[in-house]
Structure 1
Amino acid sequence: QAEDFNGAEPAPSLSAGRGFSDDWVEVFNAERGNSGVSAGPRANVENIATPAGKAIRVTSRSVAQDGAVSIEVPVEVMRDMAGKSSTISITLQSSSDRQTQVSVACDFATLGDCSRHRFTATAERADMLLNATFERSLAPNAPGRIFINSDIDGSGRPVNLYSVRILPGQ
């Protein structure tokens, strides 16, 4: 019978109930404030406390880029992502009992961008995971940005954002 074990260390992962390993880089955590967060002209960010912990409430009033909130990704993290496939985790929840459609996009300067991803935020705090592969290995010299918009369907419903983490490519 064939084995699927090749003798190598298993890749770091997010395991249910075990949280994030030390290989994940935290680029934003609402417990430490909203440093690195910028609201577009048609977006609003508010510090809040929820039963699940501190968060920022993101309210987008436009489906366009001007309704997004951006999270800065430091140059050092982007250098670790260059020429590799990385995973981005965004921990959020709907600010109400209703589901909220959220879009996530990114601009990583010389590395390129990631296609727009769509998620459904529910009343339960959850991790939204997306993979981004960057073929280019040009070392970035400026921070990148992850854009979050809570107004895909035009409802203007907010979401609570708890953290953003990146598992740089291996």
Structure 2
Amino acid sequence: MDAIEKAIRNALEKGNAEDRAFRERVYRSAFAALDRALQANPGVTVEVAIKRRKAIQEKITEIESEFLPAVPNVGLEVDAPAGEPAATAAPAIEIGDKTPSPAVTVDVAPPASDAPRSRVLPVVPDIMPDATLPGAPAIDMSVPASSGAATEVAPDRDEQRIRGRRLPLTAIFLTVTLLAAVGIGVFFAIQTGVFKTAAQLDTAPPEAPPTVEGDDFTPADGANAPAKPGAADQSRNWINVFSPTDPTHVAAPSDAKAEVMKDDSGPFLRIQSGASGSAVAFDVGQGVLEKLAGKHAVFDIIARAEDGKDTQISVDCNFGELGDCGRKRYAVGQQRNEYLFDVQFPDKHPGSAGTIAVNSDFDKQGKAVNIYEIRVSIEP
């Protein structure tokens, strides 16, 4: 017994199934339950909805046929069979003349061995559900998960043909989307110069390698951006912060080294951080900080790596009441170069001197760096 038939029969058992009016209310309740199920599932197609409605109508027709009276079998006999008991034959009926007519017999109670009683299947119309069904039990058209049954009707060939016609539309949509994506990619490639010819490429000598790699570094635009390393404006009014000729304002921790040296490039202070990553501190006098208070200043560290040992340095600042400069990182190569960073100082009294701490090897591999000068200028 499928789910539809079971639901209707369960509803009939809740009332007087012999009452035709009650049965009609049950049938209407079944159609109403189907409509609610279809409305709750907008993904069901029109074809599937029609097949479900026809399935209910067929089950109602089958169930209703059980409540119709049996139609007796009617047979025509010309001659009564030999040995037939007289009680089973009906008298001949004469119609107007004396001409013999074939005898008509009616089987009132056929034996059990005869053919089963014939039934007339009722014609059940497409009953529409009422807004309210007084006296009709509720019908649940859903199928329990444990039953294993399903009221889904597989799509017929018409629905399959409809789905088949949808495939070309999907293919067209995917093709248009792919072409649009390719077009956008080509547009951006042209804008970014990917397709430049060799004649259009920049053949100028390479610039000095970028060295700024600060943890809190944000590229600046406009006039306030500091100059690139190696491009400091010599016309600035520089204030000296450190010179190797006066190393007394340098402090090196116990596992770090600071030594004044000289070669063809001039005098410098070679610093080497310890295994703990300790930095060498350079004093920034209180008088210098007083000149920088409330100003936008650019600091310049002139340095290069030890021969054959490129390194990465990190720079931290402590300007007391005037704050700090954030952590900066620079890749230092074999060429003497300038490593710049700018600071916007608050307009307050510094109260004391400050420091600039330089770690000669951010990777803690014991590499050294030569410091030629540290200076600062005030931006106009």
User: What's the TM-score, normalizing by structure 1?
Assistant: 0.82
Matches of 1:168 and 1:77, distance apart in 2:
11
Task: Say which SS state the counterpart of residue 146 (structure 1) adopts.
Answer: strand
Task: Say which SS state the counterpart of residue 76 (structure 1) adopts.
Answer: helix
Deviations 1:127-154 (A, max 9, x none): 10011112x2221121110000012111
Q: Find out whether 1:89 has 2:89 as its counterpart.
A: no
Deviation at residue 100 of structure 1 after TM alignment: 0.6
Please name the residue that 2:374 is paired with: 164
Please name the residue that 1:4 is paired with: none
Contact 1:81 1:169 in 2 (8 A): no
Runs of at least 5 residues in structure 2 that lack an aligned partner in the other structure: 1-222
Taking structure 1 as reference, are residues 169 and 26 closer, same or farther at Cα in structure 2, changes over 3 Å only?
same
Match of 2:274 among 57, 61, 65: 61
Contact 2:227 2:340 in 1 (8 A): no
Deviations 1:22-42 (A, max 9, x none): 511011111x23121111232
Please name the residue that 1:28 is paired with: 242
Once the two structures are superposed, the pairs formed by residues 17-166 of structure 1 within 5 Å of their partners are: 20-21=234-235, 23-30=237-244, 32-62=245-275, 64=277, 67-134=278-345, 136-166=346-376
Deviation at residue 96 of structure 1 after TM alignment: 2.0
Higher share of residues assigned helix:
2
Task: Say which SS state the counterpart of residue 153 (structure 1) adopts.
Answer: coil
User: What's the TM-score, normalizing by structure 2?
Assistant: 0.38
Matches of 1:117 and 1:140, distance apart in 2:
22
Contact 2:271 2:368 in 1 (8 A): yes
Matches of 1:41 and 1:59, distance apart in 2:
11
Contact 1:90 1:129 in 2 (8 A): yes
Task: Say which SS state the counterpart of residue 35 (structure 1) adopts.
Answer: helix
Task: Say which SS state the counterpart of residue 288 (structure 2) adopts.
Answer: helix
Deviations 1:75-99 (A, max 9, x none): 1211122122210000000012231
What is the letter of the counterpart of residue 21 of structure 1? S
Tell which structure's C-alpha radius of gyration is larger.
2
Higher share of residues assigned strand:
1
Once structures 1 and 2 are overlaid, which stretch shifts more, 142-151 or 13-22? 13-22
Q: Taking CA–CA contacts closer than 8 Å with sequence separation of 6 or more, which of the two structures ends up with the larger relative contact order?
A: 1
Contact 1:68 1:150 in 2 (8 A): yes
Matches of 1:62 and 1:112, distance apart in 2:
28
Runs of at least 5 residues in structure 1 that lack an aligned partner in the other structure: 1-9
Matches of 2:365 and 2:326, distance apart in 1:
23
Deviation at residue 51 of structure 1 after TM alignment: 1.4
Contact 1:62 1:151 in 2 (8 A): no
The structure 1 segments of at least 4 consecutive aligned residues displaced by more than 6 Å after TM superposition are 13-19
Contact 2:239 2:377 in 1 (8 A): yes
Count residues with an aligned counterpart: 156
Deviation at residue 14 of structure 1 after TM alignment: 7.0
Matches of 1:101 and 1:108, distance apart in 2:
23
Deviations 1:62-114 (A, max 9, x none): 464xx111111111211122122210000000012231100011000000011
Q: RMSD in angstroms over aligned alpha carbons?
A: 2.3
What is the letter of the counterpart of residue 129 of structure 1? L
